[in-house]
Each structure stands twice: as structure tokens, then as C-alpha cells.
């Protein structure tokens, strides 16, 4: 089996209305050209692990060799030489599946020629199906991936004779599927943030000082406390990035508004331009200081507690009328309606209905 990544941004896929930058992890059997694909965000070990497992468990059998180019997810350079060797995690994973890891020679991309040559035809088929589909928008990444794999299934059916020959030559898969995530234990600092894989993420302020267990997937993080899932969020690519959700920290900032001015990620506490304009108007009216910060934080608290979009509309109305935004007025404008429970008379069971049912059943049996 040869596995390689291919950039799929040219397909202009949209997920839930938003452009979706991604790659495809593309395993191939060179003899039959059987192929499979999974969606991923980067050429990471986790993406490679998921792609390879998806392919071999789809086959139910394992090839003798698994071959990649010298991508960093599988190999690393040996200091002082031009050679590369397998990463320990990758080699253990491939051998667990019962395969022998193999790479192409450095600078010899033609040795991975089969999978390389199949990237373009596969993406061309996806492009044609997108045109027939009439839209490039999918509700979720999962639905998009399943749609791509349905194309691979149809294509593989045209190669069934050679695939059957390969399957006979392979050994049945005799292991269970490994988890496709890494785990890390992190402690929440006083800013209500955690550092995972060189990036910063906010978590609810009630977790400050606590130790959390994080599952790190190729595309997301799952955060657990006391064995219970607390939140899931998109994983950042690269390093030194940050993802701050004001909803996580607003509760502690309302209690200590003096921390707002010194908060390292303060710009993330303006969800939109309207909120930024609101803060500027408050600053012009009351000056810079804790009282102004407190007024703004109370408004932001309403957005977290009720609805960001409704609070934004209320702020836009006040700004358009030249009024100074006020948390109490915002609350009055967006005060949610409390649903009224319908009045229902207590139900009294009529036991004679059961007698009728029993008689009906006996009559059916007699017939």
C-alpha cells in the first residue's frame, strides 16, 4: 500500500456555509489501483494514522508493506547525514497493523508514482460529481467525507478482478483499531487558558487551576475533567496561535473587571465590530477605566448568557439612535420570553380499554 497526501483546496468545498481548507489522505494498492480517502487538515501523524487505518479496516486485510514518501509524519532526518529514519510512533503503528514500513529514496518521487498519478484522476471525479450535485456546500465534514468515500467505492468496483487477486495475497487483519488521538494532561492557568501542542485555547473559567485531560485529534480537541467531556473545539494548525472564546472567561471578568485592561487576549473579547464600537462609545462617554470596562463586560455577559446576535441587534439600535449603550437597556430589549406550560387536565386511565384490547386479541387468535 502506498499512502500520500494531496491538497484539495482547488475543489472549493464549503462546510456549513464556510470555506473549508483541507487535504485528502489517499492510500492506494498499486497492483489494482484500489484507493481510499479520508479528509484531514494537515500532514500530521494523526491524519496519516487515521487514513491508513480507515483503508486497511475497509479492506479487512493487510498488505505486506506500507510505503510513503519522506514526509515528516513518518520519518525524520538523522543529524549529520542526508539519511532519514522512521519516527518511533509511526513505525510502532505500522508494525502493529502487521505491515513493514517502507519509504522511497530521497529525491525519488517516481518511486511513489502510483499514488501520485492517482491524485489527479480522483480529484477530477470529485469535481465532476460536485458539478452534478449542484452545490459544494456540505452540512458537516463527516458528511463530506462519506460522500467522497462513496465515489471511491464506485471506482473500486470497476477494479474488482485485480482487487480480488490482491486480497487473496494479503493476510487477514487480526488486530483491533487503535485510537486516532493523542492524550495530554494540562493545567488551566489564571487566564482560563491551556496550552496544547504549542497553541493556546480558552476553557470555562470554573476550571481555573484544575488539571484537564485533552484528546488531541488531527482536526479537533476534546477536553475532559473528572472523566466528563467539558467541551470540544477545532484544533489550531501551526504554532503560537490562540483560540479564545469570551463565553469561557466573561463570568470571572464580570467579577473582576479590573483584569480586562490587562488581559492578554483582550481583542478576542470583541465578538464583532458592533461590540468594538460599543466599547469606544462607552470610553468616550465615561473615560478609560474600570467603570467603563465594567459597563462593557456586563453587556458582553448578556451576549454570553442570552444571545450574541440579539445583543448585537440591540446595540446597533442604540448606536444608530445616538444613545449610550447600557446593560440594563440591552437586557430589557433582549429579555427572552419564558415559555408558558400548557394547562392539561390530569389523565385518568380507563381500565375497560384493556378488556376490549384483550377480547380483540383473543378474537384474532381464534381467526
Give 131-177 pLDDT, tens digit per residue. 999 999 999 999 999 999 999 999 999 999 999 999 999 999 999 99
Tell me the C-alpha distance between 174 and 36, whole Å: 20
pLDDT at 80: 75
Which class for 247: exposed (0-12), middle (13-18), buried (19 or more C-beta within 10 A)? middle
User: Where in the chain is CATH 3.30.420.10?
Assistant: 2-172
Nearest to 33 by CA among 166, 135, 147, 184: 166
Q: What is the mean pLDDT of residues 101-118?
A: 76
Numbers of helices and strands, H then E, in the chain: 11, 20
d(CA 178, CA 258): 48
Confidence of residue 106 (pLDDT cuts 50, 70, 90): low
**Backbone dihedral region for residue 48 (phi beyond 0: left; psi -120 to 50: alpha; all else: beta):** alpha
Name the pLDDT band for 78 (thresholds 50, 70, 90): confident
The rounded Cα 193 to chain-centroid distance in angstroms is 19
Q: Note the CATH number of domain 2-172.
A: 3.30.420.10
pLDDT of residue 315: 94
pLDDT band at 108 (very low <50, low <70, confident <90, very high): low
Confidence (pLDDT) at 349: 74
Cα gap 169→176, rounded to integer Å: 21
% of the chain surpassing 90 pLDDT: 72
If you average pLDDT over residues 101-115, what whole number do you get? 73
Q: Provide the pLDDT confidence category of residue 350 given band limits of 50, 70 and 90.
A: confident
Tell me the per-residue pLDDT of 246-303, one tens digit each, with 9 for 90 and over: 999 998 888 888 889 888 888 999 999 999 999 999 999 999 899 999 999 999 999 9
Question: From the centroid of its chain, how far is CA 70?
Answer: 27
pTM of the model: 0.78
pLDDT at 367 over 60: no
pLDDT per residue over 213-223, tens digit each? Answer: 999 999 999 99
pLDDT of residue 337: 60
Average pLDDT over the chain, rounded to whole? Answer: 91
Mean pLDDT, range 229-250, rounded to an integer: 92
- Give, as one character, the DSSP assignment of residue 84: E
Average pLDDT over residues 228-254: 92
What pLDDT was estimated at residue 302?
Answer: 92
CA–CA dist 198, 182 (Å, integer) = 14
335 sits in which H/E element: none
Query: Which phi and psi angles does 296 have, rounded to 5°?
Result: -65, -45
The mean pLDDT of 169-194, rounded to a whole number, is 94
Residue among 312, 298, 307, 297 nearest 335 (CA):
307
How far, in Å, are 26, 56, 64 from residue 34 at the CA level?
10, 11, 16
Tell me what pLDDT residue 336 has: 58
In 10 A of CB 10, how many CB atoms? 10
Q: What does the pLDDT read at residue 107?
A: 60
Tens digits of per-residue pLDDT, 8-29? 999 999 999 999 999 999 999 9
What CA–CA distance (Å, rounded) separates 354 from 347? 16
With the C-alpha atoms ordered 126, 127, 128, 132, is the resulting torsion angle positive or negative? positive
The arithmetic mean of pLDDT across residues 185-206, rounded, is 94
Amino acid at each position: 500500500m502506498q499512502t500520500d497526501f494531496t491538497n484539495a483546496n482547488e475543489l472549493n468545498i464549503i462546510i456549513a456555509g464556510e470555506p473549508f481548507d483541507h487535504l485528502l489522505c489517499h492510500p492506494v494498492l498499486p497492483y489494482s489501483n484500489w484507493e481510499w480517502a479520508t479528509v484531514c487538515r494537515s500532514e500530521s501523524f494523526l491524519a496519516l494514522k487515521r487514513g491508513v487505518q480507515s483503508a486497511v479496516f475497509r479492506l479487512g486485510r493487510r498488505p505486506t508493506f506500507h510505503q510513503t514518501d519522506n514526509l515528516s509524519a513518518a520519518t525524520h532526518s538523522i543529524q549529520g547525514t542526508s539519511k532519514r529514519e522512521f519516527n518511533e510512533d509511526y513505525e510502532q503503528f505500522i508494525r502493529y497493523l502487521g505491515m513493514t514500513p517502507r519509504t522511497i529514496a530521497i529525491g525519488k518521487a517516481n518511486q511513489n508514482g502510483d499514488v501520485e498519478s492517482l491524485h489527479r484522476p480522483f480529484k477530477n471525479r470529485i469535481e465532476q460529481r460536485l458539478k452534478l450535485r449542484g452545490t459544494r456546500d456540505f452540512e458537516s465534514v463527516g458528511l463530506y467525507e462519506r460522500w467522497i468515500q462513496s465515489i471511491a467505492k464506485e471506482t473500486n468496483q470497476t477494479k474488482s478482478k485485480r482487487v480480488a487477486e490482491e486480497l487473496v495475497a494479503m493476510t487477514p487483519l487480526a488486530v483491533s483499531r487503535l485510537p486516532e488521538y493523542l492524550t495530554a494532561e494540562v493545567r488551566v492557568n489564571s487566564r482560563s487558558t491551556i496550552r496544547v501542542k504549542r497553541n493556546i485555547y480558552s476553557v470555562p473559567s470554573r476550571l481555573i487551576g484544575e488539571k484537564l485531560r485533552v484528546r488531541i485529534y488531527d482536526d479537533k480537541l476534546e477536553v475532559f475533567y473528572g472523566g466528563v467531556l467539558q467541551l470540544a473545539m477545532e484544533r489550531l494548525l501551526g504554532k503560537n496561535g490562540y483560540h479564545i472564546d469570551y463565553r469561557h472567561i466573561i463570568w470571572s471578568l464580570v467579577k473582576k473587571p479590573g483584569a480586562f485592561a490587562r488581559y492578554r487576549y483582550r481583542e478576542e473579547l470583541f465578538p464583532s465590530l458592533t461590540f468594538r464600537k460599543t466599547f469606544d462609545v462607552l470610553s468616550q462617554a465615561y473615560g478609560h477605566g474600570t467603570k467603563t470596562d465594567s459597563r462593557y463586560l456586563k453587556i458582553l455577559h448578556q451576549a454570553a448568557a442570552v444571545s450574541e446576535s440579539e445583543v448585537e441587534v440591540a446595540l446597533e439600535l442604540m448606536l444608530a439612535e445616538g444613545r449610550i449603550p447600557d446593560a440594563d437597556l440591552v437586557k430589557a430589549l433582549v429579555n427572552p420570553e419564558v415559555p408558558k406550560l400548557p394547562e392539561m387536565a390530569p389523565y385518568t386511565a380507563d381500565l375497560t380499554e384493556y378488556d376490549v384490547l384483550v377480547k380483540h386479541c383473543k378474537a384474532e387468535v381464534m381467526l
